[in-house]
Amino acid sequence: MVDVAAPAAAPSSPLRVIVADDNRDSAETCAALLQLCGHRVQIAHTGREALELAERLHPHAMLLDIGMPELDGYTLAGKIRETPWGCGVTLIAITGWGQEDDKRRALAAGFNYHLTKPIDPNTLEALLHGVGASA
Query: What structural domains and CATH numbers belong to the chain?
Result: 16-134 (3.40.50.2300)
**Tens digits of residue pLDDT in 54-88:** 999 999 999 999 999 999 999 999 999 999 999 99
Distance between CA atoms of residues 102 and 14, nearest Å: 30
pLDDT at 9: 45
Q: Could you tell me what percent of the chain has a pLDDT over 70?
A: 88
Percent of the chain with pLDDT over 90: 79
113 close to 93: Cβ distance less than 8 angstroms: yes
Whether 116 contacts 1, CB under 8 Å: yes
pLDDT of residue 134: 65
pTM of the full structure:
0.88
